[in-house]
Amino acid sequence: MLYFIGAGPGAVDLITMKGHRLLTEADVVIYAGSLVNPELLNYTKEGCEHYNSAHMTLEEVIETVKKAEAENKMTVRLHTGDSSIYGAIREQIDILNELNIKYQVVPGVSSFCGAAASLGAEYTLPNVSQSVIITRMEGRTPVPERESIRSFAAHKSTMVLFLSSSLTEELSKELVAGGYESDTPVAVVYKATWPDEKIFRCTIETLHKTMVENNITKTALVLVGYFLGNDYERSELYNPNFTHEYRIGKLNE
Ligand code: SAH
């Protein structure tokens, strides 16, 4: 049996209770060493084998899992954040299915949730934005043309950019070309929830300068949109005059 576990964004106690329990029971752990907090390995039992997938190919990961299965061992595949976001789990799942190896996915706290928490921010403010676009700049992994930053920018909604911290010059140009004002607020969260987390607030115009000055080239999220500003409307849900399933509004009493 293999468990894909979302390790959370960084802080060692932001793994789920289920993820933690399975980690303590694992015989083999294959962890994404480039981003997973290595302190999580302290939760594993004595004799548990640790493999850093940063140095491995997909084939080597699968070979490690196959060997563990043959020895009746339980494997944990530890991915950073939540494995559904840029986690490369689908290609593993398809091979596990072919090999008839059982698996289960245990969700984790994605770094974009960790970043919002660190900022005390809400991505979905009434009358500001009710949608979050999670995307990335094209790097060595291509992004479909129809998902260009420019086309998403036209919505001026909340945007979360993964895997893009070394590409902020081009990113800013695309955001403005698509429709955001150049003074739209931006927050860069480096190593969200890690002990050495850093937060930088800027605008689309000053984003690249901010990245260069602070030497941020990886492990950061770029958050864009007016949810970072000061104007919004309060929610209807907690409005005294608003009636819903669990509460009668004052005006309707
Ligand atoms: N599955 C992960 C994302 C993996 S892609 C998740 O759910 O968070 C790797 C990218 O995620 C990094 O390049 C960076 O943009 C972002 N990232 C991961 N952990 C981060 C953290 N603690 N703080 C800021 N960005 C992070």
Q: Could you tell me if the CB of 134 is within 6 A of ligand 1?
A: no
- Number of structural domains in the chain: 2
Nearest atom within ligand 1 for CA of residue 85: 1
Q: What is the DSSP string of 70-127?
A: HTT--EEEEESB-TTTT---HHHHHHHHHTT--EEEE----HHHHHHHHHT--S--TT
Q: Taking phi first (over 0 means left), then psi (-120 to 50 degrees means alpha), and beta for anything else, what does residue 250 get?
A: alpha
For a pLDDT cut of 90, what percent of the chain falls above it?
90
Using alpha carbons only, what angle is made at residue 24 by residues 21 and 26, rounded to the nearest 5 degrees?
105
Phi, psi of 50 (to 5 degrees): -110, 130
Tokens matching residue 219: 């492990």
Tens-place pLDDT, residues 199-251: 999 999 999 999 999 999 999 999 999 999 998 988 888 888 889 989 898 87
What spacing in Å lies between the alpha carbon of 194 and ligand 1's midpoint?
A: 12
Please choose from 132, 219, 222, 224 the residue to mutate so as to test ligand 1's pocket, defined by most ligand atoms within 8 A of CB.
Answer: 219
Please choose from 80, 189, 200, 218 the residue to mutate so as to test ligand 1's pocket, defined by most ligand atoms within 8 A of CB.
Answer: 80
pLDDT above 70 (res 252): no
CB atoms near residue 16 (< 10 Å): 16
My answer on whether 67 and 140 are in the same domain is no
Residue 234 lies in a domain: no
Last residue of a domain, one of 79, 106, 133: 106
My answer on whether 161 and 88 are in the same domain is no
My answer on whether 27 and 93 are in the same domain is yes
**Could you tell me whether strands 185-190 and 198-203 are parallel, antiparallel, or unpaired per DSSP bridges?**
antiparallel
Closest C-alpha to ligand 1, atom 4: 86
Q: How many residues does the chain have?
A: 253
My answer on whether 133 and 219 are in the same domain is yes
Q: What is the pLDDT of residue 231?
A: 87
pTM of the entire predicted model: 0.95
Strands across the sheet containing 220-224: 132-136, 158-162, 220-224, 185-190, 198-203
Q: How confident is the model at residue 253 (pLDDT cuts 50, 70, 90)?
A: low
Last residue of a domain, one of 106, 124, 148: 106
- Mean pLDDT estimate for the chain: 96
Domain of 11: which CATH number?
3.40.1010.10
Tens-place pLDDT, residues 152-205: 999 999 999 999 999 999 999 999 999 999 999 999 999 999 999 999 999 999
Q: What is the pLDDT of residue 128?
A: 96
Closest C-alpha to ligand 1, atom 17: 219
My answer on whether 134 and 219 are in the same domain is yes
Q: What is the pLDDT of residue 40?
A: 98
Strands across the sheet containing 75-79: 49-52, 28-31, 75-79, 2-6, 103-106
Average pLDDT over residues 92-98: 98
Residue 23 lies in a domain: yes
pLDDT above 90 (res 65): yes
Residue 248 lies in a domain: no
pLDDT above 80 (res 97): yes
Secondary structure letter of residue 160 according to DSSP: E
**3 state DSSP class of 19:** helix
For a pLDDT cut of 70, what percent of the chain falls above it?
99
pLDDT above 80 (res 136): yes
Q: Which amino acid is at 136?
A: R
Q: What is the pLDDT of residue 235?
A: 87
Q: Could you tell me if the CB of 200 is within 6 A of ligand 1?
A: no
Residue 245 lies in a domain: no
My answer on whether 116 and 223 are in the same domain is yes
Residue 93 lies in a domain: yes
What spacing in Å lies between the alpha carbon of 16 and ligand 1's midpoint?
A: 17
Q: How confident is the model at residue 63 (pLDDT cuts 50, 70, 90)?
A: very high
My answer on whether 129 and 199 are in the same domain is yes
What spacing in Å lies between the alpha carbon of 32 and ligand 1's midpoint?
A: 12
Tens-place pLDDT, residues 113-122: 999 999 999 9
My answer on whether 102 and 211 are in the same domain is no
Nearest atom within ligand 1 for CA of residue 79: 1
Q: How far apart are CA 215 and CA 193, in angstroms?
A: 19
Question: Which residues are CB-contacts of 52 (< 8 A; sequence separation ≥ 6)?
Answer: 31, 33
My answer on whether 143 and 183 are in the same domain is yes
Q: Could you tell me if the CB of 191 is within 6 A of ligand 1?
A: yes
The DSSP element (H or E) to which 222 belongs, if any, is strand 220-224
My answer on whether 126 and 38 are in the same domain is no
Domain of 174: which CATH number?
3.30.950.10
My answer on whether 48 and 115 are in the same domain is no
Residue 28 lies in a domain: yes
pLDDT above 90 (res 105): yes
My answer on whether 14 and 92 are in the same domain is yes
